[in-house]
């Protein structure tokens, strides 16, 4: 295989909603390039791109697939991305290591939610986009409506390069505005006839040509001058202008195709090989120090690993992009994340399951290595003269969570190993073994996402698992001051146990003063601060512990034991067993016994005194509240608002964005359990949302009463 220079490499993310035909188009491109001799199909479960068992089972892409082929003296590296929003992680990874997106639009559906979500990520990363209106041969295809939808959504930057003379079952000809030719396919033909544009299409083609000509000229001062002088540009000059317009995102070219019938695929491949940006054309990425790292083969070697898969009969495959320098088979590199050495005994160029050995890969290349010793997704490998480290891929917050457990407890450890491995393959899965909730929580992008995880564990790892409703990480706190004392006394022959603790608890906020006097039941309790300790809690908030003991009522050596008893109760709150927070405890008196007092006695006395005082201090339960942003077509606004309000949501505002409405709300986590399913049902799959933690707030009194009763019932069952 030829060694390609950085300027000869094209890295492209293959984007589009589920069902837009990405996998079928990829199959056609690999066939055209000669990588495969026979085309597979999604229906027959034999495509190069979707080769994992779960993808064959469900008939949709779960993982992004790297597909490389040589074309017109260029190395074309495509990453075929999943269309479902549940697998958005593959899209985000791909866009971060490629230089543009080829966005497929289903001619039967037009601009879909998936289109908009993926376009938004491309926009955030400032990546060029080329639109390909696909499946024009489908009986329900509507080119004009699809094009109008694109223009309505993305404005005049949407620029026609090709259009069909008709769409639907009669689709057989395409006018190429740039080439000023018409391609026409006879029934069953694999290659088109190249014809002059017929008279009935001439006016339309000329109009589109003029728009394309002006758009190309606008992106280069020299081209603009020539355009004004001569009134036109050559095809090569127009390609140059389109290239520059794509780089500045001032042009979104529109092509057309039928991936299934391999119509116009060859032409799109030619255009991309000539006009798509190379890594050298794009802004240089920055390392974690903020330094630019230019993709120059003469520089120090740095590889960034953006994807990991565990593949049948092979094991772990690690996919990387050469950020700078070059990598050669047998290179010894250093892992910047783990400070370990790694030898790349073999490097490969891949097309799905098809692998070709590569001896050298220059900056900008995308390749793979098998069975590396200690490399994970997100790691950087460097040559000895490089200290780069990259961390530029930012994944969205999870939106759907479930507790997971092995049906057979003996498989718990195996399940954990499987989850850890799958997290490497898809970083948008978040796995948390919660000490607080005593559950393993799996969070993902949606119900479909977790359904796929379950299928893989049960079918690939042969571990039967079940999802259950996750517990909510409530917090407990108090709203007023209260006092309690507790004596722990135990005598059972020999040395006994004795400890007595008197304390005051009150709600704590940052910077609040310490009262000099408290009054309870008509009696005053004067406070004389000897020592103050502020203890930040892992779960948020603080415990403030004040020693106000006078006259040596409790020896200072027992204070750490009292504090330990308090922390035990803070970790398992008196109301529901949830973490407690934001409490100030003042220990002001107590009693000791010269023989029987010990640490365990004061730990128990402190813990029980705290529980008693806490329950008298206006105890309240706090629940996690999330900021939720829902993107929906305007016609669903009323239904979505009603649904959120039924979930105890508070509407915070709304705004319009490119044909969609953005609804902002604050909703308790408890009420978001099945929201992704509900949103899909209400909007017919046309809505999307994201959620981020906002704060802890008091639960309503009726909810608190219900939680208290549930906890009491649970304790009785355990007893």
* pLDDT for residue 84 is more than 90: no
* pLDDT for residue 391 is more than 70: yes
What integer pLDDT is reported at residue 203 of this predicted model? 96
* pLDDT for residue 49 is more than 90: no
Over residues 474-483, the mean pLDDT reads 96
pTM of the model: 0.85
CATH fold of 302-382, please?
A: Elongation Factor Tu (Ef-tu); domain 3 (2.40.30)
* pLDDT for residue 360 is more than 70: yes
More confident residue, 59 or 540: 540
Portion of the chain with pLDDT greater than 70, in percent: 99
Q: Model confidence over 672-704: pLDDT tens digits?
A: 988 988 998 998 877 888 899 999 999 999 999
Three-state DSSP at 696 gives: strand
Three-state DSSP at 717 gives: helix
Q: How confident is the model at residue 555 (pLDDT cuts 50, 70, 90)?
A: very high
Over residues 522-533, the mean pLDDT reads 94
Q: What number does CATH give the domain 400-471?
A: 3.30.70.870
**Cα–Cα separations (whole angstroms), residue 432 to 404, 451, 694, 702:** 10, 18, 20, 30
What integer pLDDT is reported at residue 659 of this predicted model? 65
What integer pLDDT is reported at residue 634 of this predicted model? 87
Fold agreement (302-382, 476-618): no
* pLDDT for residue 339 is more than 70: yes
* pLDDT for residue 52 is more than 80: no
Q: In what order do the strands lie in the sheet with 465-468?
A: 430-434, 439-444, 400-406, 465-468
Query: What's the burial of 306, exposed, middle or buried (CB within 10 Å: 0-12/13-18/19+)?
Result: buried
CATH class of 7-281: alpha beta
* pLDDT for residue 92 is more than 90: yes
What integer pLDDT is reported at residue 190 of this predicted model? 78
Q: Model confidence over 260-297: pLDDT tens digits?
A: 999 999 999 999 999 999 999 999 999 999 999 999 99
How many C-beta neighbours within 10 Å does residue 698 have?
14
Instruction: Say which residue the tokens 């829902």 belong to.
Output: 630
* DSSP-derived secondary structure for 609-624: HHHHHHHTS--EEEEE
Using CA atoms in the order 277, 385, 92, 394, what is the torsion angle rounded to 10 degrees?
A: -130
Q: Model confidence over 423-471: pLDDT tens digits?
A: 988 999 999 999 889 999 999 998 889 999 999 999 989 999 999 999 9
More confident residue, 366 or 398: 366
Strand intervals (E) in 480-563: 482-490, 497-507, 517-520, 523-526, 531-536, 542-547
**Cα–Cα separations (whole angstroms), residue 119 to 88, 100, 448:** 12, 11, 22
CATH fold of 621-702, please?
A: Alpha-Beta Plaits (3.30.70)
Over residues 618-635, the mean pLDDT reads 93
Domain map (residue ranges) of the chain: 7-281, 302-382, 400-471, 476-618, 621-702
* pLDDT for residue 44 is more than 80: no
What integer pLDDT is reported at residue 613 of this predicted model? 97
CATH class of 476-618: alpha beta
What integer pLDDT is reported at residue 719 of this predicted model? 59
In the numeric block, which tokens belong to residue 716?
């009785």
* Closest by CA position to 644, among listed 616, 625, 617, 659: 625
What are the residues facing 10 on neighbouring strands? 76
Over residues 160-166, the mean pLDDT reads 97
């Amino acid at each position: 295989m030829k060694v390609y220079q950085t300027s000869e490499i094209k890295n492209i993310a293959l984007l589009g909603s589920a069902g837009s035909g990405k996998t079928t188009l990829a199959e056609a491109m690999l066939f055209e390039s000669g990588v495969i001799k026979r085309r597979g199909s999604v229906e027959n479960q034999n495509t190069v791109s979707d080769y994992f068992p779960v993808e064959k089972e469900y008939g949709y892409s779960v993982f992004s697939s790297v597909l490389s082929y040589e074309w017109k003296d260029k190395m074309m590296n495509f990453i075929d991305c999943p269309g479902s929003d549940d697998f958005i992680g593959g899209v985000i990874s791909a866009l971060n290591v490629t230089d543009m997106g080829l966005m497929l639009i289903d001619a039967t559906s037009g601009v879909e939610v998936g289109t908009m979500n993926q376009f938004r990520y491309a926009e955030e990363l400032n990546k060029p986009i080329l639109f390909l209106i696909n499946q024009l041969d489908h009986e329900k295809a509507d080119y004009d409506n699809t094009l109008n939808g694109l223009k309505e959504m993305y404005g005049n930057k949407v620029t026609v390069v090709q259009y069909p003379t008709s769409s639907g079952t009669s689709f057989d000809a395409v006018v190429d505005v740039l080439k000023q030719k018409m391609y026409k396919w006879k029934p069953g033909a694999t290659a088109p006839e190249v014809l002059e544009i017929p008279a009935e299409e001439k006016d339309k083609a000329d109009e589109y040509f003029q728009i394309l000509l002006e758009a190309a000229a606008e992106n280069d001062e020299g081209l603009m001058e020539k355009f004004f002088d001569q009134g036109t540009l050559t095809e090569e000059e127009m390609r140059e202008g389109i290239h520059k317009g794509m780089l500045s995102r001032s042009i979104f070219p529109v092509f057309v195709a039928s991936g299934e019938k391999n119509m116009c695929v060859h032409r799109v491949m030619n255009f991309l090989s000539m006009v798509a940006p190379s890594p050298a054309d794009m802004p240089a990425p920055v390392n974690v120090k903020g330094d630019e790292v230019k993709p120059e083969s003469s520089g120090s070697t740095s590889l960034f690993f953006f994807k990991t898969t565990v593949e049948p009969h092979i094991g772990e495959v690690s996919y990387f992009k050469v950020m700078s320098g070059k990598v050669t088979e047998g290179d010894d590199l250093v892992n910047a994340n783990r400070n370990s050495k790694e030898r790349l005994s073999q490097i490969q160029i891949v097309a799905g399951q098809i692998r070709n050995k590569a001896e050298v890969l220059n900056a900008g290349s995308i390749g793979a290595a098998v069975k590396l010793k200690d490399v994970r997704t997100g790691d950087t490998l460097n040559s000895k003269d490089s200290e780069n480290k990259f961390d530029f891929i930012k994944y969205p917050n999870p939106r759907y969570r479930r507790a997971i457990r092995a049906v057979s407890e003996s498989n718990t450890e195996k399940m954990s190993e499987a989850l850890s491995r799958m997290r490497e393959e898809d970083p948008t899965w978040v796995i948390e073994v919660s000490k607080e909730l005593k559950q393993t929580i799996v969070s993902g992008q949606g119900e479909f996402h977790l359904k796929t995880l379950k299928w893989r564990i049960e079918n690939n790892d042969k571990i039967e698992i079940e999802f259950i409703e996750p517990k909510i990480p409530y917090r407990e706190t108090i709203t007023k001051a209260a006092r309690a004392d507790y004596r722990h006394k135990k005598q059972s022959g020999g040395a006994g146990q004795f400890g007595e603790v008197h304390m005051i608890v009150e709600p704590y906020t940052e910077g609040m003063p310490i009262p000099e006097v408290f009054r309870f039941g008509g009696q005053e309790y004067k406070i004389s601060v000897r020592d103050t300790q502020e203890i930040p809690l892992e779960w948020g908030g603080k415990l403030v512990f004040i020693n106000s003991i006078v006259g040596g009522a409790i020896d200072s050596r027992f204070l750490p034991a009292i504090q330990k008893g308090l922390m035990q109760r803070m970790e398992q709150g008196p109301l529901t067993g949830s973490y407690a927070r934001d409490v100030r405890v003042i220990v002001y008196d107590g009693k000791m016994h010269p023989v029987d007092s010990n640490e365990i006695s004061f730990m128990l006395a402190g813990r029980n005194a705290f529980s008693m005082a806490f329950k008298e201090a206006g105890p309240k339960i706090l629940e996690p509240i999330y900021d939720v942003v829902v993107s929906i077509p305007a016609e669903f606004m009323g239904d979505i608002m009603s649904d959120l309000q039924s979930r105890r949501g508070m509407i915070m505002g709304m705004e319009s964005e490119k044909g969609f409405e953005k609804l902002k709300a604050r909703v308790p986590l408890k009420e978001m359990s099945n929201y992704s399913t509900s949103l899909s049902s209400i909007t017919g799959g046309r809505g999307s949302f994201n959620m981020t933690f906002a704060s802890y707030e008091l639960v309503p009194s009726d909810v608190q009463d219900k939680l208290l009763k549930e906890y009491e019932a649970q304790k009785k069952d355990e007893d």
